[in-house]
Amino acid sequence: MRTIKRDTPPVNQGKLREISTLCRAYAREKRFWLDVFASRRNQARISRHREVRNEALAAGYVPASGLQARMWKLALVDAAETWDKYWQAVFVETRRRIARNTSLDAPQRRYLFWLLKDYRRFEAALHGELPVPGFAVDGSLKRLTRTLGKVVRSLRGNPPRVRIARSFCLDAGCYTVFVENGTQYLKIMSLTRGKRVTIPLSGQAAIRGNLRVVIDGDRVRVHVSQALKTKTAELVGTAAVDLGYTEVLTDDQGTDYGNEFGAVLTAASNRRHRKGQARNRLHALEKKHRAAGRIAKADRIRKYNLGRVKLEKQTAREQSHLANIINRGINAFLRERKPARVVSEDLRHAFTFDRPRCLNRKLSAWTKGVLQDRLEYKVLAGGSRHEQVNPAYGSQTCPRCGFVDRKNRAGDRFLCLHCGYGGHADQVAAINYLHRKDDPRITRYTPYREVKTFLMAEFARRLEAQRSGATVPGRTLDAVGPTASTGGLVMKTGSSSPRTTGKRGGGRAAAVNPAA
């Protein structure tokens, strides 16, 4: 499924007030049901919300919000789905921590994963009960459930809440669609029985099924879900990609997609940074005037210099531009490679290790989330299979000899300090992801320190197998100098010739896919 956003012309104030009143009533009703599903009894019934609805109907429930019956039921479902999304997001990181817990064996991890598959089992485990699985588990179930509870409590954060009343859901029985004088209209249910509010829409397109109405200023947006068209193109082979900063992605063949991404992202980030600094100075000035009793001056600064309407519109335009570049880059990759399977790095981790603050600012959570989500969506929508691998040391490991060291990479350039294998760091990372997809020893959740230990041990075994010793003269596995016995560092490219890309400002040596 995908969501199509339909805009409307500016709506007159009378209709806008009616829709806003409906939004506030829907938000009040959703808050009520969010509190209902927060209780222990109903927490186990998040995925079985019809039982809660049927109990409310049997008890003669009358909503305090004033919503008609069809809409309070939609608010109930919306609240249950919100709680489900909340818990599923917690479960993602919970599974990651369970997989990384070295004190648990395989059956114990399986038991904890089994608890997370059903809300009834999960709720029982959180409240001191011991659900018994249909498979053998070594150790105390009580200790395991306590471990699960400790992890979940550390990840829960604030429960879901409705903070802004700006949208509501409708099903097919809550609206009708008609066309008059070339304009498409949406007639939606209101708080008054038998009365509907008519909204004009920009353009014309089929509208069916459930939809969401969103208020944005003096406009109303309608979010419509549509089924994706089935792709018929023949897909073959496996392709690996490294999601980058200067470009959207680089595949294992060394092709870049979305080369303008880095320049646009840097410009947007720097503009927001400068704007934020200027606004901070104005905030300080406004506080200074207010503290000195110059209230009128402080109010004028707040009103005319610290507004957020223009700022938010500009940020939205920049994000839309970046999302467009990301979409076009991924589309071009899928169109050219037509892969049956796509391998990429798992970006759902924080950029906090050995990175400057300015880079953390540019590689924001929004950028990473859009890159990850759009790749997942477009790969699956195109009929391909998407797999994610552990990204640890992907661009610091030589794909030919397996030597890993941070000095192998200098910026965008990669040069192995052991065998001289050279290329572009993003392409090297993509090649390593391609090799890592079928390696059961490095999972998505393996801690990066364990990944490095394994890679170094694997490199030592290769040296020993080649009867050249477990170490390299003049080097260590973590710090390699230029005192190689081969007489210096040579970039080996086999029979391939260097490739020049204007976007990078220099040549890129073609990284040869290693045979072993």
Indicate the DSSP class of residue 345: E
The DSSP result for 176-232, as a single string, is: EEEEETTEEEEEEE-SSTT-EEEEEESS-----S-EEEEEETTEEEEEEEEPPPPP-
> Per residue in 199-211, pLDDT tens?
999 888 888 888 9
pLDDT in tens, 87-108: 999 998 899 899 888 889 989 9
Same domain as 383, residue 397:
no
Residue 175 lies in a domain: yes
Answer with the one of 155, 185, 207 that is the final residue of a domain: 155
Tell me, yes or no, whether 290 and 427 share the same domain.
no
pLDDT attached to residue 167: 93
- Could you read off the pLDDT of 411-449 as tens digits, one per residue? 889 999 989 999 999 999 999 999 988 888 888 888 888
What pTM does this model have? Answer: 0.71
**Same domain, yes or no, for 249 and 338?**
yes
What is residue 513's predicted lDDT score, i.e. its pLDDT?
A: 36
Residue 268 in any domain: the answer is yes
Q: Which domain holds residue 175?
A: 2-18+166-226
The neighbouring-strand residues paired with 424 are: 413
Report the C-alpha gap between 436 and 346 in whole angstroms: 12
Using one digit for the tens of pLDDT, what is the confidence trace for 157-167?
A: 899 999 889 99
Cα-based angle 133, 138, 144 (whole degrees, multiple of 5): 70
pLDDT of residue 255: 93
Residues 327 and 280 in one domain: yes
Model pLDDT for residues 46-61, shown as the tens digit of each residue = 999 999 999 999 999 9
Residues 6+ apart with CB under 8 A from 422: 413, 414, 415, 416, 491, 492, 493, 509, 511
What pLDDT shows up at residue 287?
Answer: 94
Instruction: State the DSSP code for 407.
Output: G
- What average pLDDT does the structure give for the chain? 84
Q: Is the domain of 145 the same as that of 252?
A: no
Q: Is residue 98, in this structure, part of any structural domain at all?
A: yes
What is d(CA 282, CA 271) in angstroms, rounded to the nearest whole number? 17
* pLDDT tens digits along 351-391: 444 556 666 666 665 677 788 889 998 998 888 899 999 98
Contact criterion met (CB below 8 Å) for 148 and 117: no
Instruction: Tokens for 55, please give them.
Output: 């109990």
As a whole number of angstroms, the distance between CA 221 and CA 217 comes to 10
Give how far Cα 304 sits from Cα of 258, 271, 281, 513, Å. Answer: 38, 20, 14, 59
Q: How many domains would you assign to the chain?
A: 4
With pLDDT > 70 as the criterion, what percentage of the chain qualifies?
86
pLDDT tens for 257-304 read: 999 998 998 898 889 889 999 999 999 999 999 999 999 999 999 999
Query: CA-CA distance, 403 to 397, in Å (whole number)?
Result: 6
Looking at the predicted structure, is the pLDDT value of residue 511 above 60?
no
Query: d(Cα 37, Cα 33) in Å, to the nearest integer?
Result: 6
Torsion angle of the four alpha carbons 382, 387, 389, 395, in this order, in degrees rounded to the nearest 10: -30
Whether 62 shows a pLDDT value over 90: the answer reads: yes
pLDDT of residue 468: 52
Q: What single-letter amino acid sits at 397?
A: T
- Percent of the chain exceeding pLDDT 90 equals 52
